[in-house]
Amino acid sequence: MALKILLINPRATDYPKIQQKSYAPLNLLYIAAGLELDHHSLEIADLNATLIDDREVEKLIEDSGADIFAFPYFSEIAKQNLWLSQCCRRANSDAVIVMGGPGASPIPDQCLEQFTEVDVIVRGEGEQTMRELARCVEQKRSFSSCTGLSFRNEDGLIVHNASRPVDENLDALPPPARHLVQDIYQRGQYYALLEAERPVGGIVTSRGCPFSCGFCYNTVRSYRMRSPENIVDELVLLRRKYGVSFVEFNDILFTANRKRAERVFELLIKEKLDIRFAFKARAPEVDDYFVRLAREAGAVQIGFGVESGDQSILERMNKKTTVEQCATAIAKVRKAGLRCHNGYVLGYPGETWDTIKKTVDFIVATKPTTVTIDVLLPYPDTPVYHEAKAEGTLVGDWSPEMHEYPWVRLPWTESRNDLEKARAWATNRVFFRPYYAGQFVKMAVQARNTLLARYMVQETRLALLPNFSLPTRAVGW
């Protein structure tokens, strides 16, 4: 007998604020596509896009009649994950409640101990594991034979089954079940701040990462890629079926294999698809030819995880890039007339006010189009998390009860608020300059992008109010 399964995409933030972007939850849509092969009844609740209030969420969960509830775990929104699990249990005391994703995979014991309503943790990539889990529920079998699961047995003890091998042939996976969120596409609730047209789309063309940055939560080193032809087929579908004119490549690193990236560009040029896109790259892989080809194919933005303007910090992060390489790559992207978005992290072990000032000076000198500056989040099972824990500098830990995010104590910090003040100072030094103020106003006015204008006001207020802590009751609980 087919099961009713509700897959829930939580809100991406604790704070009721405008986000930089909202994309369809491809992780859940891939899982849904696999489950549909077994003729189960699937429903997607994308809370991040619809932003329905608490009562509507509770009603949606209750009315679903689901036999299985599943949602990803994110460290930053652990309190929301807890609330969702409690809503699901109230809706159906006999349902199987599942959590997964890269946040839960390395810490299944901690998740099952902190989230008492959750029955099962899916470790690793979830498509095949969720299909097998559903068969166990459907046939009333034990989970003991299902690889990739951690769960409580009948005695309440936590059991870890063997890990499931990763899918090597990504082209063989059924495409994401976007038809389950087609109404959200039609309402234009998938967006990106710098794109006035809606809806926007996302695509994942690879899994894993061949690099090992010290702060990154993605610990899967097995790097696998979809073929260029398979990628372009999905882009054609997004453009012609869903009306998407802008796509972001959501890969951790789209250019890990430069030849494959160039082949995608060549196929898009041949297809004349008229679709605009953005992707993330490593600075050493970017040269003038690559940027020109990307632009001809429809690229409008290339992003870099620069992280710091100080070489010693980059080396501690194990970035395997240099400040000079990053500056050169940014210049090439800007010279080609493309947007360049850079991400930076403050508060890594070894950070000082001098290295923070170097980062600000680097941003001011290179003038990327947009920038995000964040305080380091020491995610569970990352190298920086283990280093800080071993050295006694990790303050706090991840749990639904936390009142502030965990942080790494540095010699000059007394509280996390010191890091937030440093972030606010850096943000102010960058954005409260005529160049950026004028650029954002110009983009908002030319594109008649009211959401971008509202975001600018919001971020200005946050930059001027650096005293942050998690709200006692935020959106969703």
The secondary structure of 392-458 as a DSSP string is: T-EES---TT-SS--EE--TT-SSHHHHHHHHHHHHHHHHSSHHHHHHHHHHHHHTT-HHHHHHHHH
Of 118, 150, 182, at which residue does a domain stop? 150
Amino acid 477: pLDDT: 30
Q: Does 397 lie in the same domain as 261?
A: yes
Q: Where are the beta strands (DSSP E) in 161-297?
A: 191-192, 201-203, 206-207, 224-225, 246-249, 276-281
What element of type H or E holds 46? strand 41-46
How many distinct structural domains can be found in the chain? 2
Question: CA 381 to CA 105: how far, in whole Å?
Answer: 10
Q: Does 21 lie in the same domain as 142?
A: yes
16 falls in which pLDDT band (50, 70, 90)?
Answer: low
476 falls in which pLDDT band (50, 70, 90)?
Answer: very low
Of 150, 174, 205, at which residue does a domain stop? 150
Residue ranges making up the domain that contains 368: 190-464
Instruction: Let me know: does 312 contact 273? Beta carbons within 8 Å.
Output: no
465 falls in which pLDDT band (50, 70, 90)?
Answer: low
**Is 226 part of any domain?**
yes
Q: Does 203 lie in the same domain as 133?
A: no
Q: Does 132 lie in the same domain as 13?
A: yes
Amino acid 468: pLDDT: 41
Q: Does 428 lie in the same domain as 289?
A: yes
Q: Does 212 lie in the same domain as 92?
A: no
Give the Å distances, CA to CA, from 129 to 101, 180, 404: 12, 20, 33
Instruction: Let me know: does 5 contact 66? Beta carbons within 8 Å.
Output: yes
CATH number, domain of 143, equals 3.40.50.2300
**Is 170 part of any domain?**
no
What percent helix, strand, coil does the chain show, rounded to 5? 45, 15, 40
Q: Does 283 lie in the same domain as 357?
A: yes
434 falls in which pLDDT band (50, 70, 90)?
Answer: confident
Q: Does 99 lie in the same domain as 194?
A: no
Q: Does 232 lie in the same domain as 111?
A: no
Helix count (H) and strand count (E) of the chain? Answer: 17, 19
Instruction: Let me know: does 220 contact 226? Beta carbons within 8 Å.
Output: no
CATH number, domain of 296, equals 3.20.20.70
**Is 162 part of any domain?**
no
**Is 139 part of any domain?**
yes
**Residues 6+ positions from 72 with CB-CB distance below 8 Å:** 9, 10, 27, 28, 99, 100, 101, 103, 104
Q: Does 111 lie in the same domain as 204?
A: no
Dump pLDDT digits (tens) for 437-463: 777 777 777 667 777 777 777 766 666
Amino acid 470: pLDDT: 38
Of 150, 180, 206, at which residue does a domain stop? 150
Amino acid 464: pLDDT: 60
**Is 177 part of any domain?**
no
Q: Does 227 lie in the same domain as 122?
A: no
Q: Which DSSP string corresponds to 74-103? A: -GGGHHHHHHHHHHHHHH-TT-EEEEESTT
Rounded to the nearest integer, the mean pLDDT of the chain is: 92
